[in-house]
Amino acid sequence: MTQLQTETLAPAVRDLWTPFELVALGAIWGGSFLFMRVAAADFGPFALVEVRIVLGALILLPFLWRARAQLKRGHAWRFAVVGVLNSAIPFSLFAWGAERAPAGIGAIANSLTVLFTALVGFALYRERIGRTRALAMLVGFVGVIVLMSGKTAGDNVAAAALAGTLASLCYGFSANFTKRWLADVPPLAAVAGTLGSAAVLLAPLAALSWPATPIPQASWLSALALGMLCTGIAYAFYFRLIQRVGAARASTCTYLVPLFGVAWGWLLLGEAPTPTMLVAGTLILGSVVVSQRSRG
C-alpha cells in the first residue's frame, strides 16, 4: 500500500469509529446520573461532588500545567466563577436530586442545557434566537412542566426536576462565560482550572457535611467512576473528538445522554421510565434537536 493510500485510509477509518465514540461518550455521561443515584444518599451532595471534581481536576491537571505560560492573573477569578457555575452548583443540584428521584429525571433535565445556553446568550449578549428556536425553547420548557408533574412510586419528583433545571441554567451561564472569558486558554486547561477552583471553593461545605458513618464500597466505586470516568476522562475524550470532527458533530453525543441516563437506571436499578418521563423526554429532546439545527 502506498503512502498516499495509507493517508487516505486513515481518516476514513477514524470517521468509521466516530459514531461508536459518540455513543460511548453519551453512555458515559448518561452513566453519571446512575452513579449519583447510587452514591448521593451515602455521601450527601457536597461530599460526593467534592470527590468528583477533585478526581476530575487531578486527571486534567497536566493540561493546565502545559498551558501555564498562557495563564494570567485575571484567569483566576474567571476560573472561579465558571467553576462554580459549571461544576460546584450544578453537580451539587444533580446529586441532591439523585437522592430524591430516579436517575432518568436528572438526565432528562440536563438536556435543557442547550436551550438555556441560547437563552442566556440572548439575554446577556443579544445573540439572535429566531422564531423556530424560540418555539423550540417553549416546547422544551413545556417538557419541564410535564416532567415536574410526574410521580414515581408514589413520590413527587418535582423538586428533583426543578433542581436539574436550575443546574442546566447554570450550565447555560457557564457556557456563555467560558466562550467569552476563557477563549485564550486551551479547552482542557480551562476545564482543569475551573474544576480545581470549584474543588477549593466547595471544600468547606464538603468537610462540614462529610458523612459520620462509613460509606459503602458501592458508593465509593460510584464516586470514583464519577470523578475519573465521567469527569476527567470524559472531558478529555470529548475535546479530542471536537479537534477531530468539529464541535457541532461532537455535541450530538449530548442527545444520547438522557436516553442512556434513563436506560441505565432502568437496567441496573429497576427504575422503569414512567409515561410522564417519556413524554417530557420526547418534548425536551425534540426541542433541543430542533434548536440545534435551526438558524432562525
- Distance, in Å, from the CA atom of 61 to the CA atom of 51, rounded to the nearest integer, reads 15
DSSP string of 206-266, one letter each residue = HHHT--SSPPPHHHHHHHHIIIIIIIIIHHHHHHHHHHHH-HHHHGGGGGTHHHHHHHHHH
Would you place residue 170 in the very low, low, confident or very high pLDDT band (cuts 50, 70, 90)?
very high
Would you place residue 6 in the very low, low, confident or very high pLDDT band (cuts 50, 70, 90)?
very low
Would you place residue 244 in the very low, low, confident or very high pLDDT band (cuts 50, 70, 90)?
confident
- Report domain extents, the chain: 23-293
**Higher-scoring residue by pLDDT: 289, 225:** 225
The pLDDT, as a whole number, for residue 251 is 79
The pLDDT, as a whole number, for residue 291 is 78
* Rounded average pLDDT over 27-47: 97
Q: Per the structure block, which three cell numbers stand in for 106?
A: 436528572
Would you place residue 131 in the very low, low, confident or very high pLDDT band (cuts 50, 70, 90)?
confident
* Rounded average pLDDT over 160-165: 94
* Rounded average pLDDT over 39-62: 97
- In three-state secondary structure terms, 151 is strand
Please provide the size of the chain in residues.
296
191-225 confidence digits (pLDDT tens)? 999 999 999 999 999 999 999 999 999 999 999 99
Strand partners, 151: 156
Q: pTM (2 decimals)?
A: 0.90
- From 77-81, 164-168, 240-244, the region with the lowest mean pLDDT: 240-244
The pLDDT, as a whole number, for residue 187 is 94
- Residue 24 in this model has a pLDDT that exceeds 90: yes
* Rounded average pLDDT over 60-82: 96
Contact 271, 104 (CB under 8 A): yes
